[in-house]
Structure 1
Amino acid sequence: MNIEVPTLVLGAVAAAFGVFSIFLAALIGPKRYNRAKLEAYECGIEPTPHAVGGGPGNAAGQRFPVKYYLTAMLFIIFDIEIVFLYPWAVHFDALGVFGLAAMALFVFNVSVAYAYEWRRGGLSWD
């Protein structure tokens, strides 16, 4: 038996389950539509019919602050760092010098991203 067959079978079962779940929800799910459910979700900001950024004399449509995205990217960077640091810390003795060098390069790479974010002002909370 080929070694990839169990992985392919698991992938097929997962895909079939996803398609079946969506089909079943559309078939038997409640269909009570109202005005609030049909409106676009704007992260808690009331949607306006004006263009984003507004025009001359239009104070209602303002740009969404980029600070939100910088903070989200910072969270992702450090969240992924912890995901990689934890298994390394658990098996530190077994990895030897190669593991130490690889993790030093990884921490250096993440530190460069941290320094970039710091220089761009992503850590100042105005």
Structure 2
Amino acid sequence: MTILIADDDTDDRMFMEKALRQSGYAHTIQFVEDGEDLMHYLLRQGRYTEQNAPWPDLLVLDLNMPRKNGFQALSEIKDDPKLRRLPVVVMTTSSADEDVIKTYNLGVNSFVTKPFNFNRLVEMVSALKTYWMDTVKLP
């Protein structure tokens, strides 16, 4: 199983990987740094091939990224018949109602606000891992 994390913040990527590992996730974690890189990854463009970019079982998407933000990337993913079945969890610092509504209108599967405490992040990531990797049947 592979989790793809799209987040431009180096520290957030490091904390997510640590939290996933601490929660017992032992599979592949891939990272991209912005929405354009994300779309290249998913569409197997540029430097991304099947050998170095395994197909993700789950995408964790930040909204605030350079070049192409999370809203734009989410819209493209859910509009593409080949990509739309990919489960997407938005994990962002925002808790604004308009962001929650907009992402659900675009087809996101879950919306969570990033916690500011590492222990809380581990709890959240553990719950996401349990739900998305152990409980639901993915396409």
Q: TM-score range by the shorter chain?
A: under 0.3
**Normalising to structure 1: TM-score of the pair?**
0.22
**Normalising to structure 2: TM-score of the pair?**
0.20
More helix by share: 1
Bigger CA radius of gyration: 1
| Bigger RCO of structures 1 and 2 (CA < 8 A, at least 6 apart) | 2
More strand by share: 2
